[in-house]
Structure 1
Amino acid sequence: MRGTQGEPGTGGTEPVSSRAPLAAPAPAFLPDATAAHDVPPLVTAHGCWYPSVDPSGRQVAFICDRRGVPHLWTGPVDGDAAHLLDADPDPVVEVSWSPDGRWIAYTTAPGGGELTRVLCVRPDGTGRRVLAGAEPGSSAHLGCWRHDGSAVAVTVAEPSPGTDPGASEAGPVRAGTGMPGASRPPGWDARDGHAVLLGGPSSGAAPRPLTVPEETADGAGTGVDEPVPLTLSTYLVDPEGVSAPVFLASERGAATLRVCDLSRDGRLALLRRGPRGRREALVVRTRDPRVTCTVPVADGDPWIGGFAPDGRTLWLRSDHGREYAALYAVRLDADGRQSGLTVAAERADCGLELLAMDRDGRGALLSWNVRGVSDLRIAALDTATTAPADEPATNTPTGIAADTVSDRTTAHAHAPAAAGEPAPPRAAVRSSRAVPLPHEVVTRVVPTADPDAPVVALSGSQRRPGVWWLPQGTPLRTPWSSRDEDAAPGDRPPVRPVPMRPTARDGLPLGGWYYRAPGRAPGEPAPCVVHLHGGPEEQERPVFDPLYHELLGRGLDVFAPDVRGSSGYGRSFVDADLGAGRFAAIDDVADCAAHVVLAGLADPRRLAVMGRSYGGYLTMASLVWHPDLFRTGVAVCGMSDFATFFAGTEPWIARSAAHKYGHPERDRDLLHALSPLHRIEALRAPVLAVHGEHDTNVPPGESEQFVRAARERGLEAELLVLRHEGHDFRRADNRRLFRRTAADWIQRRLAG
């Protein structure tokens, strides 16, 4: 189960004047980061990721774990001198350098848990302060900068104001002042065992069934007896603290909200909102504020697009009405309302995964996911080609490079101009060229002042994550970034995986990557670990995974499949596991294991299953649905009982999870049948469960109850709890402990 909190949108188009005033976030100052810190020594093997550049494009702020914790660093694209800006023990999650170069904003996870806060610091390491999320139990998330660098957008979690908890708020509301509150719904820390979904009622003090009201337009119910739910609100915050924060928008009972861009004149804001599987891009007119345009967008990377310089075109990465995400151009009128919708670049068999707009809004970086491998393009955008009002924009624009004919431009829809108004320009990709990459997967793309010299974060099967500079298409590894030799010290070189295409028992084609342990004869069946990714919408990619390297070093092969529900294969594949389709996803695991056995790669007597998050759930499910297939399993942060999961998880995650797995009341019987804990009598294999102590996405009780039930039946079962970790394991010492414990557990049970 995966999720990223902190991005509301609004459920309607009208402001709600009755909303009680909100307290705006206030900066909290911290000591400068240039003082001495007690930090662990440098680690040999490390990674660098999530780059953001200064206005010149020659200095990079990035995240690096060379001191054992993901910290904030800066360094030049072509020099060795990297500087640590924040050595606090809290892991850094996101980074954003201001367009004027004066500040670097970043997000940290205090204690390694799921709650986050937004800070900023000057590039020389001075002036560090908290912008939002400073109060205990609060949470805040990073948005975009104003184009002049005068303010950064943040999303703040706060309780809904007002005395009527059943009142619905349908749209963005005006800013004001008022009482601050906690970042979770009242009573979250003393949950009564009943499910709480954002926008839906929970039980009262006395235990009783969850009643479901009629649903609103976005699928979330509102009940008169529900507790005051969480509200996510967005502000523009001046890092200097001179100007008061400016309110942008708010949503009661929100799943997510992020401010992705602001028009140059400040009239419009682009927001991403909604639970996974139902994300939306909203254009909000800031003077009212009021929603003027709504377009469905794809899951995945939250930075979904941006405005053209004149604010009349909005570029979006969207899978609106299609199998694969494409580049859309949304035409806007003078008031921000949609006047046209055009597909500007698309691929027939793969999706647009990352989109980053140039700072001048006239170009973009497009990263396409081609069967798990990235294809990076530099595109020039054109909004100046005028078409007659009665002529649909259907032709591929002239000037497209010959090697990008698959990135064709077609018209999805184009509204005629209003009476007396000139026809709007037709947006298009004017030209596009491929950028050669030294490794398989792009994880972040960052345009610089030179459109032909972007900075990208790369990962591949032969190296740890690193940051590269690509001037004129020449890939240059930044000197301070991770080195190839860091990936696999000693005599254990990394393994390059081979793609696999299993077929499910119902005929659905699946995917995945197979890693062969070094030194094994080609025809010799090997002990094999089937590793299952999270999500379910994640995708297995050919990147260097230290866990896989650990297992391969023990002589264990690794097969990492993409069962139904994974991304990268189209919307239909993602949705194929919804509801009762989950039973087929569990069978997919067995079918993938059978595939590598029949291919002569894996030994059928020495199979293990392992996974994290949703993969942890699938691990437990596979062990009880197919009890004679696997000799052991390692379940990491997995759900064992959907009833207790829904009752214990954060309400914003419950809202998204209901779409994927089923509603905790309406689909109670289905969720009971899908819960591994209720088939525990079928378990035969020893199981190791691993969990972060601060995980509120999937609470540790999910692992605890599965291990307890296994032990009560006389089976071997252990639980490893990692301190100072949440749903993701970010600290090097904990990741190392996890890898070694899991590899030891599996190796002992598959040996011989």
Structure 2
Amino acid sequence: MDGMPWRYADHASTSTSTSTSTSVGTVGAAGAVGNPAGAGTAPASAFTAPVPVPLPGTAGPLDTPQPLRSHGCWYPSVDPSGRYVAFICDRGGVPQLWTGPVDGHEVHLLDSDPHPVKEVAWSPDGRWIAYTTAPGGGEHTRVLCVRPDGTGRRVLAGAEPGSSAYLGCWQYDGSAVAVTVAEPVRTPGGAETEERPVPSEPGLADPRTYTTRRPAGWTARDGRAVLLGGPHHGDAAPTARTPGGTAPGGTDTDRVPEAAGVPAERDGGDGDGGRGDGAASKEGGGTGVVGGGLAAYLVDPLGVVAPALLAVERGAATLRVCDISRDGRLALVRRGPRGRREALVVRTGDLRTTFALHVADGDPWIGRFSPDGGTLWLRSDAAREFAALFAVRLDGEGERRGLSVAAERADCGLELLAFGHDGHTAALAWNVRGATELEVVTVDSEGGEARPGPPRNVPLPHEVVTRIPRVGGRAGLVLALSGSQRRPGVWWYSEGSARRTPWSSRDEDAVPPGRPPVRPVPLRPTARDGLPLSGWYYRAPGRAPGVPAPCVIHLHGGPEEQERPVFNPLYHELLGRGLDIFAPDVRGSSGHGRSFVDADLGTGRFAAIEDVADCAAHVVVAGLADPRRLAVMGRSYGGYLVMASLVWHPALFRTGVAACGMSDFATFYAGTEPWIAESAAHKYGHPEHDRELLRELSPMTRVDALRVPVLTVHGEHDTNVPLGESEQFVRAARERGLQAALLMLRDEGHDFLRADSRKLFRRTAADWIERHVAG
């Protein structure tokens, strides 16, 4: 690895602070830590600033042997030289942190721990790589950093039991990284952990007889759930009043709030401006969930300078620092629940919010300050059907001077936004009916109107761009790509041509020899109320045209996810069994405009359940699917739709496979993570105010109508949708004399991340469906 820029001298600290455990300061114009006169400080009950915790080195050898013939590489981050990439790869059986050159074969494993890695960010000065892991595969995450040569590994946030943390942006000089910390949810009298025997091996289990480990605090979450209220952004400092205003063509629902931290009322929601999945607590006698909130800090990886507080949210669903101006005076913060996200401009010197605007769901990296700090570029769908590129002109205090739409398309949304380090080159990824169209533009915000120059279209070897870590510089354009016939990989553009990095999986390794990948075709069903729907149909190889096939209706999660033409090993497992697949976007899915995303709110969820039946009817009427051999399958919200479809339309499907789905909203709210419950309230309904609606929408309410066999699948450590949601549905099915089973995956959470777990899941599910449908 000759010539690798992997060892850097530590910068000298200019701070005289020696405390890293309790100091809470603010960031001044030059980025130094302090507490200027008049700035608010966090109350005594606020979060304790994170302390770096050194860990033993676990770097692996170069070119570690890969037990997986076909692997994925994703979430790349490029070093300052443009020669090397840090990325996530599952070639060792679990998503881990690797580095490698863009044009060489040798790769380096930086963290061999078995904890799945979720995010990666190389520091602008090249000295550190920050990353997020999920210990035990569960939902609680922590932020670590490591030197590019594998030394100096340490936990920056999330080391405290019960806490969770995730990455924000780096400061431009690389001296600190922003992290968001979720304080532990505490129960009066102390959290409890219920330890019970578990099956010795992953596999089918009997929920009437087996027991499993429960997360701390589970037994406290067994009563009525209410959302947390109280102060939100700015409760660590006085808030500033900002003038109201609307986006171009906007309405009052997208007005900049009169008082920072008090968002305008939207959508008839809970009115807290917070989130949508929400915090669960218990009222009345007995123990309950207490607290819940997020705090964002700037953290020095060496721990020499005290962490600097940037933002606090009580009872928050999300809070992420997306960018910091080059002079350190302003921070761009994304907060709020699904469907109600906001971008905030925060003055770091006094923690005052100077600007707020509704922004789109999806990729959390919503924007960037211009090099002079005079313009904020934002990906937003404020008062629009589709997200566009907004240019927000700011004065020296961070107040808004003007706002305009800089780039837009009439029938599709801006999905990803990335900038070069110089701040004058931008990449715009547009979601066009599920596929990506990518263009690179020059942006100029120095005086006058901020607007991009003529776009340059970039041809893509895959259908979908999932991340853009590098725009311009020596490496040119670096992209994470995925497609229907290829494993996720990292590509870079040199001399106008796209090149796959040598350590990304080859196309011919995507599926076993002799079984070619299947390219899906788009379908356009219509719902019974006239709403246009869409989806992708996969035809099993070798089937003669015009012959109706056994078919699986596969439903994505979210609900705001979107079905994309990307490689899915589960689909290829099912196709190899002779099963066709139709993967639709029912109402509530993203990628089709804001109105479509919101069409399932409230009582609209009943229509979303009917959409599943309408999609099944469409493929039957089209002559593609055999009406006597239909199955339904999905994960997370898709798992909920599976259970709902089986009890709302008991004669339509022969069987169902529901992974990590909610079977009863009351028990879901009582058992989920506080920040998940806060965010879910906007999307599904408030557990108290909408109790009767949620009861009617819960599959358990209609479980007597169930008529067919059902398989549920769940991660052992899922605290997003607790394991009990699958247990009670299977138990109820068996009590009614139906065949039902639960596959519990060890060391997994809401997302199945380990290769052996994913393989067990897809083979068990395919066996189940084949047994009940294909014959």
Contact 1:57 1:448 in 2 (8 A): no
Measure, in 2, the Cα distance between the counterparts of 1:18 and 1:649: 28
Determine the structure 1 residue equivalent to 2:208.
none
Compared CA separation, residues 40 and 78, structure 1 to 2 (3 A): closer
Matches within 5 A, 1:221-232: 228-232=290-294
Contact 1:159 1:228 in 2 (8 A): no
* Alignment pair present for 1:335 and 2:335: no
Compared CA separation, residues 259 and 218, structure 1 to 2 (3 A): closer
Q: How many residue pairs align between the two structures? A: 667
Match of 1:58 among 83, 100, 104: 83
Which amino acid letter does the alignment assign opposite residue 443 of structure 1? Answer: T
Compared CA separation, residues 214 and 114, structure 1 to 2 (3 A): closer
Compared CA separation, residues 213 and 85, structure 1 to 2 (3 A): closer
Contact 1:61 1:73 in 2 (8 A): yes
Measure, in 1, the Cα distance between the counterparts of 2:127 and 2:312: 28
Contact 2:427 2:471 in 1 (8 A): no
Determine the structure 1 residue equivalent to 2:176.
151
* Alignment pair present for 1:19 and 2:81: no
Match of 1:194 among 224, 230, 244: 224
* Alignment pair present for 1:139 and 2:169: no
Contact 2:359 2:382 in 1 (8 A): yes
C-alpha displacement of 1:479? 0.3
Contact 1:500 1:511 in 2 (8 A): yes
Measure, in 2, the Cα distance between the counterparts of 1:213 and 1:343: 27
Match of 1:714 among 732, 737, 743: 737
Determine the structure 2 residue equivalent to 1:666.
689
Determine the structure 2 residue equivalent to 1:550.
573
C-alpha displacement of 1:567? 0.4
Q: Deviations 1:519-564 (Å, cap 9, x if unpaired)?
A: 0001100000000000000000001100000000000000000000
Match of 2:151 among 126, 131, 138: 126
Compared CA separation, residues 227 and 478, structure 1 to 2 (3 A): closer
Which amino acid letter does the alignment assign opposite residue 223 of structure 2? Answer: G
Determine the structure 1 residue equivalent to 2:438.
376
Q: Deviations 1:725-747 (Å, cap 9, x if unpaired)?
A: 00000000000000000000000
Match of 1:630 among 650, 653, 660: 653
Which amino acid letter does the alignment assign opposite residue 340 of structure 2? Answer: R
Measure, in 2, the Cα distance between the counterparts of 1:285 and 1:34: 39
Q: Secondary structure at the match of 2:620?
A: helix
Contact 1:198 1:255 in 2 (8 A): no
* Alignment pair present for 1:241 and 2:303: yes
Q: Secondary structure at the match of 1:634?
A: strand
* Alignment pair present for 1:48 and 2:78: no
Measure, in 1, the Cα distance between the counterparts of 2:473 and 2:465: 19
Determine the structure 2 residue equivalent to 1:475.
498
* Alignment pair present for 1:109 and 2:134: yes
Compared CA separation, residues 632 and 158, structure 1 to 2 (3 A): same
C-alpha displacement of 1:112? 0.1
Compared CA separation, residues 541 and 215, structure 1 to 2 (3 A): closer
Contact 2:177 2:298 in 1 (8 A): yes
C-alpha displacement of 1:190? 2.1
* Alignment pair present for 1:261 and 2:323: yes
Match of 1:345 among 394, 407, 412: 407
Contact 1:436 1:473 in 2 (8 A): no
Structure 2: give runs of 5+ residues left out of the alignment. 1-37, 189-214, 232-267
Question: Percent of aligned pairs with the same residue?
Answer: 74
* Alignment pair present for 1:657 and 2:680: yes
Determine the structure 1 residue equivalent to 2:708.
685
Compared CA separation, residues 646 and 160, structure 1 to 2 (3 A): closer
Matches within 5 A, 1:556-567: 556-567=579-590
Contact 1:304 1:317 in 2 (8 A): yes
Greater shift, 593-602 or 14-23, is seen at 14-23
Q: Secondary structure at the match of 1:475?
A: strand
Contact 1:365 1:447 in 2 (8 A): no
* Alignment pair present for 1:69 and 2:94: yes
Compared CA separation, residues 510 and 190, structure 1 to 2 (3 A): same
C-alpha displacement of 1:625? 0.5
Contact 2:557 2:634 in 1 (8 A): yes
* Alignment pair present for 1:582 and 2:644: no
C-alpha displacement of 1:63? 0.4
Q: Deviations 1:134-160 (Å, cap 9, x if unpaired)?
A: 122221110100001111111111269
C-alpha displacement of 1:215? 4.5
C-alpha displacement of 1:194? 1.7
Q: Secondary structure at the match of 1:654?
A: helix
* Alignment pair present for 1:78 and 2:108: no
Contact 1:364 1:381 in 2 (8 A): yes
Which amino acid letter does the alignment assign opposite residue 578 of structure 2? Answer: G
Measure, in 2, the Cα distance between the counterparts of 1:213 and 1:371: 29
Measure, in 2, the Cα distance between the counterparts of 1:645 and 1:492: 40
* Alignment pair present for 1:503 and 2:551: no
Contact 1:495 1:518 in 2 (8 A): yes
C-alpha displacement of 1:453? 1.5
Matches within 5 A, 1:640-655: 640-655=663-678
Determine the structure 1 residue equivalent to 2:339.
277
Determine the structure 2 residue equivalent to 1:443.
466
Q: Secondary structure at the match of 1:426?
A: coil
Contact 1:40 1:68 in 2 (8 A): no
Measure, in 2, the Cα distance between the counterparts of 1:199 and 1:716: 43
Q: CA RMSD in A?
A: 2.4
C-alpha displacement of 1:33? 2.2
Structure 1: give runs of 5+ residues left out of the alignment. 1-13, 164-184, 202-211, 387-424
* Alignment pair present for 1:522 and 2:552: no
Q: Secondary structure at the match of 1:352?
A: strand
Q: Secondary structure at the match of 1:19?
A: coil
Contact 1:55 1:449 in 2 (8 A): no
Q: Secondary structure at the match of 1:529?
A: strand
Measure, in 1, the Cα distance between the counterparts of 2:60 and 2:290: 43
Measure, in 1, the Cα distance between the counterparts of 2:399 and 2:297: 22
Contact 2:60 2:110 in 1 (8 A): no
Measure, in 1, the Cα distance between the counterparts of 2:546 and 2:273: 57
Measure, in 2, the Cα distance between the counterparts of 1:304 and 1:297: 8
Which amino acid letter does the alignment assign opposite residue 652 of structure 2? Answer: L
Contact 1:364 1:447 in 2 (8 A): no
Measure, in 2, the Cα distance between the counterparts of 1:154 and 1:68: 28
Compared CA separation, residues 103 and 18, structure 1 to 2 (3 A): closer
Which amino acid letter does the alignment assign opposite residue 463 of structure 1? Answer: R
Which amino acid letter does the alignment assign opposite residue 570 of structure 1? Answer: G
Contact 1:439 1:459 in 2 (8 A): yes
Compared CA separation, residues 188 and 750, structure 1 to 2 (3 A): closer
Measure, in 1, the Cα distance between the counterparts of 2:85 and 2:185: 38
Match of 1:676 among 696, 699, 716: 699
Matches within 5 A, 1:444-459: 444-450=467-473, 453-459=476-482
TM-score normalised per structure 1 = 0.86
Measure, in 1, the Cα distance between the counterparts of 2:79 and 2:422: 14
Which amino acid letter does the alignment assign opposite residue 70 of structure 2? Answer: A
Match of 2:58 among 24, 30, 33: 33
Greater shift, 547-556 or 152-161, is seen at 152-161
Greater shift, 626-635 or 644-653, is seen at 644-653
Contact 1:195 1:646 in 2 (8 A): yes
* Alignment pair present for 1:362 and 2:424: yes
* Alignment pair present for 1:100 and 2:162: no
Greater shift, 485-494 or 227-236, is seen at 227-236
C-alpha displacement of 1:64? 0.3
Contact 2:275 2:338 in 1 (8 A): no
Determine the structure 2 residue equivalent to 1:395.
none
Q: Deviations 1:630-664 (Å, cap 9, x if unpaired)?
A: 00000000000111111111121111111111111
